[in-house]
Amino acid sequence: MKIHFDELDFKTSPLYEYGAFYKNQLFTGIAYEEEDNEYYEFNYRNGNADGRWYGINQKTQQLIYDKYYRDGSPQEIKVWNEDGELLEYEKYDHHGNLIFQKKFNEQGILVVFIDKENEIDEEYYDNGSLYRKTSYQNQTYQNTYFLDKDKWLMKETGYLETNENGLTYKIGRKRDNYEFNIDLFCQEIPQLKAQFHARLIGPFIQYLQKTDKQRALECLAELAKHKEPWFRGEAADYLGRFRSPKSISILNTLRHDCEKPFIRNRFEFGGSGHALTIGERATRSLLQQTQPKS
């Protein structure tokens, strides 16, 4: 049976890989879809993705992606760009657990490399230099974030949990289990990029607040001048925790910043944003300065 994809009804799952119904029956067959010059086919068995899913440019006959599923679980995925260059390759075990992955950017540079068999789990900047390396030991993992090769910024340790199918999950970081290259971090604040380093700022500033408040304030002053709005917004929030003439002066400057920070996801559509402008966040922090200490 072959039907248009729009005729499918997904009653039990928000994902297209599971729970596909056709006329109130779990669907077995091929669903197809056409969009501009692109044509797609999706194989289902008993409502779940099973077999080949592919998309092709009908004008050039170039594959867009080629995926294979087994009872809803991915087995192998390949994705190409318009020029026929490989962008992504993924391989899974029979339970659907990722065991191998390579991702490339539009320039053909490797940006993600995972090889579970050889214990490789790394992400790279767009120029190919190392950004993150994850190592595993017993029931813990450690993420090490780099500014450049051999120049690490932060190390964090967290817990692992394995399910009945052998899939290992990262379930959370250990409290206060961070290590920082403080001098390098402070020195390179103007060079940080929000898409890569936004998640490092919070733990770093909180660590400095506990160990060296003066240096924390100096780093926040640098963040407040950063060219990327995300970092200025973080400065506006964290400065509210300091009661000093310098923090008030910086916040008064940020009060006139009308940008709303937004970071695009690196590998997916969408991103992370903030409902308030930097100026509104700075004003909120200024109000915190005037509240009595609890």
For 153-191, the pLDDT digits (tens) are 999 998 887 766 665 555 565 556 899 999 999 999 999
Per-residue confidence at 21, pLDDT binned at 50, 70, 90?
A: very high
Same domain, 160 and 233: no
277 vs 11 pLDDT, higher one: 277
Same domain, 77 and 121: no
- Contact indicator for 93, 99 with CB cutoff of 8 Å: yes
**Residue 188 lies inside a defined structural domain of this protein:** no
**Residue 47 lies inside a defined structural domain of this protein:** yes
- What residue numbers bound the domain in which 237 lies? 198-294
pLDDT tens per residue across span 64-122:
999 999 999 999 999 999 999 999 999 999 888 899 999 999 999 999 999 999 999 99
Q: How many domains, the chain?
A: 3
Same domain, 131 and 81: no
**Residue 187 lies inside a defined structural domain of this protein:** no
**Residue 92 lies inside a defined structural domain of this protein:** no
Overall size of the chain counted in residues: 294
**Residue 189 lies inside a defined structural domain of this protein:** no
Same domain, 230 and 172: no
pLDDT tens per residue across span 188-211:
999 999 999 999 999 999 999 999
User: Model pTM?
Assistant: 0.87
* Residue that finishes a domain, picked among 36, 65, 85: 85
Same domain, 267 and 290: yes
3-state secondary structure 46-89: CCEEEEEEEEEECCCCEEEEEEEEECCEEEEEEEECCCCCEEEE
pLDDT tens per residue across span 225-235:
999 999 999 99
Bridge partners (DSSP) listed for residue 154: 145, 180
Same domain, 78 and 136: no
- Which whole-number Å values give the CA distances from 244 to 45, 239, 240, 248, in the listed order? 65, 9, 10, 6
Same domain, 144 and 71: no
Same domain, 8 and 74: yes
**Residue 91 lies inside a defined structural domain of this protein:** no
Bridge partners (DSSP) listed for residue 252: none
* Residue that finishes a domain, picked among 85, 109, 130: 85
Same domain, 47 and 115: no
- Contact indicator for 273, 261 with CB cutoff of 8 Å: yes
* Residue that finishes a domain, picked among 85, 111, 144: 85
